[in-house]
Amino acid sequence: MVKIETSPQQVTSRKLTVSKAMVEGIAQEMERDPSVIVLGEDVGAYGGIFSSTTGLLERFGPGRILDTPISETAFIGLGTGAAVEGMRPIVELMFVDFFGVAMDQIYNHMAKIHYESGGNVLVPMVLMTAVGGGYSDGAQHSQCLWGTFAHLPGMKVVVPSSPADAKGLMISAIRDENPVVYMFHKGVMGLPWMTKSTHALGDVPEESYTVPIGKAAITRSGTDVTVVTLSLSVHHSLDVADELAKEGIECEVVDLRSLVPLDRATVLESVAKTGRLVVVDEDYQSFGLSGEIAAIIAEEDPRLLRCPMKRVCVPDTPIPYARSLEQATLPTPTRIAAAIRDVMA
Amino acid sequence: MTQTTTPQLVETDVRLRLFERMVILRRFEKRVYDLFLQGFVKGTSHLSIGQEAIAAGFGEAMRSDDWTFATYRGHAHTLSRGVDMAPVMAELMGRAGGLMAGKGGSMHLTSVEHGMMGSYAIVGAHLPIAVGAAFSAKYRKSGQVAVCFFGDGTTNIGAFHEALNFAAVYRLPVVFVCENNLYMEYTAIHDVTAVEHPAADRAAAYGLERIIVDGNDVSEMYRIAQARLTRARDGYGPSLIEALTYRHNGHSRADPGKYRPDAEVAAWMERDPIPAYRERLEREGVTTQALDAIEERVSIAVDRATESAKASPPPPAEAAYRDVWSDGGWQWRS
């Protein structure tokens, strides 16, 4: 189902970071479609505080790359209104943690007006936002919160982990006729000032292409245990899988890539194959994605599991500041490895 | 003469059209009130009875491709853009033949083809959205203007201030119209606002003119609407208009409005915009028969819209599962 729009022979790729791949996806869509604009705090000259818009102002000018006041209600609402009237705005919410000051615009308006208008209006906009912790930014700048957005009807929720997906999913999000929340983890962007992840750099085709929203990726095949995960936790899970392979444990790593729509089929097929499940989710544990994955198995066929599943999530506490405390709450490679060993025991 | 083939507004003289618009809004909403008491209209309903001159003046002055953004008190603004009464009535009754097939109800009336871009039930939320539509108009150089109506209570919520600043910074073609009916829900606006004029006294903070008009004078509303729409179309940015008015009914449902002093209510009832305008037209030489004919025609149309809405069945349960997504579906699990 992956649609690469040029024929494979013509595809040339080079290694890019997630942030450069995202920007390339945005820029190619802006070249193709004059209705695409970008707005948010510090997205212009500064290029986005997590480099999600680097260089766009120079290429497309202030008429299409708009630095906004600190006024999320105004500019997210503006995005919705512009989308309803024929534009395809990409609105950056600097940190997802800030959604509280503008959540009304997001879940009551952006997400609902298509439905409540009886399908009369369309809202083809992208709300992109930085998520995740691991760098001591404290309880109000480190959350993922994707489960909150996924819980509320009317928004697609996209969470890329690799450079190629970051670009292809961005292009799909821009072209989608629905509001799409595009959540990029600061730790996957490949930023020099963040903790390094080797998976943040990868092959990205130069041409424009889409990655379908709602299709998970098997990022590593394995027979012993299914690790269902997303975003930065994919990087950690792949590293852990490499280590455990040395002990003879073969992990299958499923990168969900989107929460809404959620690819149930891929999860069920993988669990049917391995019979063991670990969910790794950097969001709060209770009432969220990890419980939803468990419900999918329970509703479909609990006998798929040979042993109880494990969840590696942020416990139901705010994310603490001190490095040692933060690492104790996040789904670190150590916690992921322990959970996999547990289900294998 | 049927609802679908006869336009709701038939007069050609602007003065008569203004009158006709107000009569449509008044008679339609009087019927809505009756139907609410009879249990045909459920949930809630917020009437604009007494405030019709604002919607009528703007409805007449707006270009057909301009946009209206309204609040949950949006029946009048919807009808004044030329939307048929029958589907609006059916929507209020929650019928399959409703304007949004029963999905939205009284507080979310929307008709894109008429430029009625939605009624919003969260105070202040639609101001930023109207700013976005205006941004689109400016960006595409389409010459369209967004008109955003709201009540006095909206002026104390953050979205009002954020939207005004944004619209002023980008000089966007948007006209903000505060319908100051003196009460935010059940509380006098004066008791909870730091300034006398909740909208106009804030205009200077965003570099805008202080504009206060008589919201019960339909010709004044028509004139200010024309002037401010033209100004927005010509690239001079947003306007903020405070129109003084009064609702004859309570805030919503069957609220009798007992929190308002009797003398105040009586004084404003004397200033009912429809009889006042009728008297003026008669003084200007319009015949009683011509005005009576309008009243009668509208009255028949309201009866027909009511019958048509009552005849429409309730929407089937499966309709609840349509239109969450642009492909018409609802499932979020692929």
| Chain A contacts in chain B segment 50-79 (CB below 8 A) | 67, 69
Task: Say which residue the tokens 């509703």 belong to.
Answer: A299
In order, the DSSP letters of B169-196 are HTT-SEEEEEEE-SEETTEEGGGG-SSS
Give the whole-angstrom CA distance, residue B193 versus residue B182. Answer: 11
- Mean of pLDDT values over B297-310: 97
pLDDT at B331: 73
Give bridge partners of residue A15 from the DSSP assignment. A203
Q: Which residues in chain A have Cβ-Cβ distances shorter than 8 Å to B69?
A: 81
The angle formed by the CA atoms of residues B297, B298 and B304, to the nearest 5 degrees, is 95
Residue B40 vs residue A10, higher pLDDT = B40
β-strands A251-255, A310-314 pairing = unpaired
The residue among B117, B157, B325 with the most chain A CBs within 10 A of its CB, best to mutate, is B325
Interfacial A residues in 131-190 facing B (CB < 8 Å): 150, 153-154, 176-178
**What pLDDT score was predicted for residue B327?**
86
Interchain CB distance below 8 Å, B162 and A73: yes
Cβ-based contacts of A84 with chain B (< 8 Å): 117, 129, 132-133
Same domain, A194 and A260: no
A48 found inside a domain: yes
Does residue B8 have a pLDDT over 80?
Answer: no
Cβ-contact A38, A25 below 8 angstroms:
no
Select B12-306's CATH number: 1.10.240.10, 3.40.50.970, 3.40.50.300, 3.30.460.10: 3.40.50.970
Residues of chain B positioned with their CB less than 8 A from the CB of A116: 100, 103-104, 108, 110
- Closest partner CB to B132 (pick from A63, A78, A153): A78
Last residue of a domain, one of A210, A236, A261: A210
Chain-chain contact of A114 with B110 (C-beta, under 8 angstroms)? no
Identify the pLDDT of residue A62.
95
A86 contacts B136? CB cut-off 8 A: yes
Query: Is position A198 within any domain?
Result: yes
**Residue B243: predicted pLDDT:** 98
- In the structure encoding, which two tokens stand for residue A130, read together? 């930085």
* Residue A146 and residue A129 in one domain: yes
Predicted pLDDT at A172: 98
**Cβ-Cβ contacts under 8 Å, B125 against chain A:** 77, 104-105, 108-109
Provide CB contacts within 8 A for A238, sequence distance 6+: A199, A219, A220, A253
Q: Which of B78, B135, B142 to mutate to test the interface with A (most CBs of A within 10 A)?
A: B135
Q: In this predicted structure, what is the pLDDT of residue B334? A: 46
What is the enclosing helix (H) or strand (E) of A171?
Answer: helix A163-175
Burial of B229 (0-12, 13-18, 19+ CB in 10 A): buried
Going by C-alpha positions, the residue among B87, B136, B56, B185 that lies closest to residue A122 is B136
Across the interface, of B122, B162, B326, the residue whose CB is closest to A74 is B162
Q: Are residues A112 and A261 in the same domain?
A: no
Contact list, A37 vs chain B (CB under 8 Å): 139
Cis peptide before A315 (omega within 30 of 0): no
Least Cα distance to B157 among B77, B53, B71 occurs for B71
- Is the domain of A145 the same as that of A49? yes
Q: Is the pLDDT of residue B5 over 80?
A: no
User: What's the pLDDT score for residue B330?
Assistant: 79
Output the pTM of the full model: 0.88
Q: Which residues of B touch A178 (CB under 8 A)?
A: 325-326
Return the SS3 of B154. helix
E strands within B6-47? none
Q: What residues of B are in contact with residue A75 (Cβ under 8 Å)?
A: 128, 166
Note whether B148 contacts A: Cβ–Cβ < 8 A: no
| Region for A141 from its dihedrals, namely left if φ exceeds 0, alpha if ψ lies in -120 to 50, beta otherwise | alpha
CA distance, residue B141 to nearest chain A CA (Å): 12
DSSP assignment letter at B77: H
Q: Which of A37, A109, A117 sits opposite B100 (nearest CB)?
A: A117
| Predicted local confidence at residue A11, as pLDDT | 74
Q: Which residues contact B117 (CB under 8 A, 6 or more apart)?
A: A84, A85, A121, B67, B68, B69, B110, B129, B130, B133, B146
The DSSP letter of residue A318 is: P
In a domain, A6, yes or no: no
What pLDDT sits at residue A10?
63
> Domain with A27 in it: what CATH number?
3.40.50.970
Interface check B88 vs A, CB under 8 A = no
pLDDT digits (tens, 9 = 90+) for A166-220: 999 999 999 999 999 999 999 999 998 888 899 999 999 999 999 999 999 999 9
Beta strands in chain A (DSSP E): 13-17, 36-40, 65-67, 88-95, 126-131, 156-158, 180-185, 201-205, 217-220, 225-229, 251-255, 258-260, 277-284, 310-314
User: B103: which 2 tokens?
Assistant: 């999905």
Domain count within chain A: 2
Which positions in chain B touch A120 (Cβ < 8 Å)? 100, 110-112
Task: Answer whether residue A58 shows pLDDT above 90.
Answer: yes
Say whether A69 and B328 touch across the interface (CB within 8 A): no
Nearest to A69 among B120, B165, B325 (CB): B165
Residues A185, A49: one domain?
yes
**Inter-chain CB proximity A69 and B129 less than 8 Å:** no
Averaged pLDDT for residues B37-64: 95
Neighbours of A286 (CB within 10 A): 12
Which two tokens mark A107? 């879940």
Tell me whether residue A141 is one of the annotated catalytic residues: yes
The upper half-sphere exposure of residue A332, i.e. CA atoms within 13 Å in the direction of its Cβ, equals: 13
Among residues A185, A210, A235, the one where a domain terminates is A210
* Residue A7: pLDDT over 60: no
pLDDT tens, A215-257? 999 999 999 999 999 999 999 999 999 999 999 999 999 999 9
For residue A90, is it within any domain? Answer: yes
Q: Is the pLDDT of residue A324 over 90?
A: no
Would the CB atoms of A85 and B111 count as touching at under 8 Å?
no
For chain B, the average pLDDT equals 94
User: Which pLDDT does position B6 carry in this prediction?
Assistant: 54
A160 and A18 in a common domain: yes
Give the minimum alpha-carbon distance from A114 to chain B in angstroms, rounded to a whole number: 7
Q: Which of residues 292-331 of B touch A (CB under 8 A)?
A: 322-328, 330-331
Q: What is the pLDDT of residue B233?
A: 98
Tell me what percent of chain B is helix, strand and coil, each rounded to the nearest 5: 50, 10, 40
Tell which of A162, A178, A210 closes a domain: A210
Q: What is the pLDDT of residue B332?
A: 61
User: A122 in contact with B at a CB cutoff of 8 Å?
Assistant: yes
Helices (H) and strands (E) in chain A, counts: 12, 14
Domain that holds residue A326: 217-344
Q: How far apart are CA B193 and CA B96, in angstroms?
A: 42
- Nearest residue to A88 via CA among A76, A80, A98, A96: A80
Chain centroid to CA B246: 14
Average pLDDT of the residues in B152-175: 96
Nearest to B40 by CA among B307, B319, B257: B307
Per-residue confidence (pLDDT) for residue B42, from 0 to 100: 87
pLDDT at A9: 56
Does B53 score more than 90 pLDDT?
yes
Domain of A273, CATH number, reads: 3.40.50.920
Residue A2's pLDDT is 46
How close is the nearest chain B Cα to the Cα of A185, in Å? Answer: 22
Interchain contact, A120 vs B100, CB within 8 Å: yes
The single-letter code of the amino acid at B176 is F
pLDDT digits (tens, 9 = 90+) for B241-256: 999 999 999 999 888 8
Reply yes or no on whether the pLDDT at B38 is more than 60. yes
Give residue B290's Cα distance to chain centre. 26
How high is the pLDDT of residue B10?
79
User: Residue B200 pLDDT more than 80?
Assistant: yes
| B128 interface with A at CB cutoff 8 Å | yes
Q: What pLDDT, on a 0 to 100 scale, did the predictor assign at position B253?
A: 87
Give the model's confidence band at B3: pLDDT under 50 very low, under 70 low, under 90 confident, else very high: very low
Query: Average pLDDT, stretch A116-124?
Result: 95
Q: Which of A118, A150, A262 sits opposite B323 (nearest CB)?
A: A118
Which residue, among A236, A310, A242, has the nearest Cα to A276 in the 3D structure? Answer: A310
pLDDT of B333 above 60: no
For the segment A262-294, what is each residue's pLDDT rounded down to a tens digit?
999 999 999 999 999 999 999 999 999 999 999
B125 closest CA partner among B139, B108, B112: B108
What is residue A341's predicted lDDT score, i.e. its pLDDT? Answer: 98
Same domain assignment for residues A180 and A35:
yes
For residue A119, list chain B residues with Cβ-Cβ distance below 8 A: 103, 322-323, 328
Helix (H) or strand (E) run with residue A18 in it: helix A18-32
B158 touches chain A (CB under 8 A): yes
If you count residue pairs, one on A and one on B, with CB atoms under 8 Å apart, how many are there? Answer: 161
Q: Which residue carries 């943040």 as its tokens?
A: A200
Q: Is residue A5 part of a domain?
A: no
Q: Which tokens is A203 given?
A: 């092959």
For residue B139, the chain A residues in CB contact (below 8 A) are: 37, 63, 82, 87
Least CB-CB distance to B132: which of A63, A80, A122?
A80
In a domain, A3, yes or no: no
Contacts of B91 (CB under 8 A, 6+ apart): B98, B99, B100, B102, B104, B105, B106, B109
B103-137 residue pLDDT tens: 899 999 999 999 999 999 999 999 999 999 999 99
ipTM surpassing 0.85, yes or no? no
Contacting residues of B for A176, CB less than 8 Å apart:
326
Given A109, A141, A185, A199, which residue is catalytic? A141
**Across the interface, do A118 and B332 touch by the CB < 8 Å criterion?**
no
Cβ contact, residue pair B163, A74, below 8 Å: yes
> Are A77 and B163 a contacting pair at CB < 8 A?
yes
Non-local CB neighbours of B255 within 8 Å, separated by 6+ positions: B186, B249
Judged on CB neighbours under 10 Å (0-12, 13-18, 19+), A12 is exposed
Please indicate, yes or no, whether residues A278 and A306 belong to a single structural domain of this protein: yes
**Dihedral sign from CA coordinates of A119, A124, A126, A127:** negative
Kindly state whether residues A59 and A173 are assigned to the same domain: yes
Nearest CA in chain A to B139: A63
Asked whether the beta carbons of A84 and A121 are under 8 A apart, the reply is yes
Beta-bridged to residue B150, according to DSSP, are: B178
A130 and A222 housed in the same domain: no
CA atoms within 13 A on the CB side of A206: 6
